[in-house]
Amino acid sequence: MKEDGSTTIESKGLFLTGLLQETFESIYPESAGSTVVLTALKGDGSDRKWYRAACCGKSIIVVDHGPSGNKGVSEGEAFAWIGRHLKRSKAPVPEIYACDPGCRVLFLQDCGDTHLQDVIKNEPDMEVIRAHYRGVIDRLILMQLDAKEGFDGDKCLETPFYDTGVILDRESRYFVDAFLNGSLGIEADFAYLEDEFRYIAENALATRITGFLHRDFQSRNILFQNSSYFFIDFQSGRLGPVQYDLASLLIDPYVELSEDIQQDLLGYYTKRLSARISFDIRVFANVYEYNALNRNMQILGAFAYLSRVKKKHGFRKYIPPALKTLRTRLERTVAETCPRLTNVVIDAASKLLS
């Protein structure tokens, strides 16, 4: 996240400024009595407000989730519990220093502003790029397997598992409503495609290897600081197939990895995972393809919603590469078993990419 402007906590009017001062001084005692300055940071897809609190050459991150609209677990509560659970599991996530009683405002370790996307876009050496992704994959596997242990599904923001219901409602239908209909005006009928969406969902969950699922594991949610990686925005985490987060990383339209590199990294992942658990590599690869389809549709639904409804127009430029990827994977994977969906996407690509 980039800086958006500075102000002192007194003029900002952010509530719980006393807790901010107390938290900052407990981490950095040398700041006692000095003025903490807040710098607003540009967010990404969410409506949360982010700040950097700095004083005496030190800094922490402040995130304001705003009032909760949920009757159950709030976004802030899910962020706090999952973040602390991941930290206990040795996953590379920022430390959560403190939060208010309702977990609306949290104070986090400052892991910098450099995302994996920035690193990859500015790196011409493909071997260096591969090395970065291998480092991320090693840490991803650790998080997926180790954070599964002791994970409390009751602390999840939405559902405790990534299941058929989640896929059909929050990925397949989202793709139809937000992207095909809302953005392209195609007037696609979800019911007409539902059997094929269900087929893809069932194959994505077949003989799955279950682990902790971040659910938005892409280059903008990975920070790089002092040769270390930090995973962020994990508040939607739950249990699910490990292939989903891997697909999120490899088909990420923010960086557009080539197919060759994707396959190379898929092979690296399976090799590293096989050192921890036993599984059939061919079955794993097949399940991966279906998870990649679901993730690809979720991406397009999200980008369409964020650009059209939330007016965050910077996401528009990532829609064409994501659509190209979806068309190619559908034609390669399910053209015969899911002809209706494949044809709808081919028509959408012809309309948008022509």
Sequence ranges of the chain with CATH classification 3.90.1200.10 = 116-353
Query: Of 93, 119, 121, which is closest to residue 108 (Cα–Cα)?
Result: 93
Q: Closest Cα partner for 182 from 326, 348, 324, 354?
A: 348
HSE-CB at 74 with a 13 A cutoff on CA atoms is 16
Q: What distance in Å separates the CA atoms of residue 140 and residue 123, rounded to the nearest whole number? A: 22
Token pair in block for residue 252: 């990420």
Q: Tell me what the mean pLDDT of segment 277-287 comes to.
A: 96
Find the angle CA(165)-CA(166)-CA(170) to the nearest 5 degrees. 120
* 126 has pLDDT over 80: yes
pLDDT level of residue 16 (50, 70, 90 thresholds): low
* CATH fold of 116-353: Aminoglycoside 3'-phosphotransferase; Chain: A, domain 2 (3.90.1200)
Token pair of 212 as six digits: 């902790």
pLDDT category at 353 given cuts 50, 70, 90 is: confident
pLDDT (0 to 100) of residue 180:
98
Strand ranges, E, within the chain: 3-8, 37-41, 49-55, 58-64, 96-99, 105-109, 210-213, 222-225, 228-231, 238-241
Specify the pLDDT at position 230: 98
Mean residue pLDDT across the chain: 93
pLDDT digit string, tens, across residues 227-268: 999 999 999 999 999 999 999 999 999 999 999 999 999 999
**What are 220-229's pLDDT values in tens digits?**
999 999 999 9
pLDDT of residue 12: 47
Q: Is the pTM higher than 0.85?
A: yes
Q: How is domain 3-109 classified at the CATH fold level? A: Phosphorylase Kinase; domain 1 (3.30.200)
User: Which pLDDT does position 208 carry in this prediction?
Assistant: 80
Q: Tell me the per-residue pLDDT of 129-163, one tens digit each, with 9 for 90 and over.
A: 999 999 999 999 999 999 999 999 999 998 999 99
Task: Taking residues 90-96, report their average pLDDT.
Answer: 98
Does residue 5 carry a pLDDT above 80?
no
Task: Please give the pLDDT value at position 15.
Answer: 47
| Location of each CATH 3.30.200 domain in the chain | 3-109
pLDDT, tens digit, for every residue of 52-78? 999 999 999 999 987 766 668 999 999
Residues 161-214 have pLDDT tens digits of 999 999 999 999 999 999 999 999 999 999 999 999 999 999 999 988 999 999
Strand pairing partners for 229? Answer: 224
Tell me the mean pLDDT in the region 75-89.
Answer: 97
What's the confidence (pLDDT) of residue 9? 45
pLDDT attached to residue 60: 97
Only one residue has tokens 């923010």, namely 254
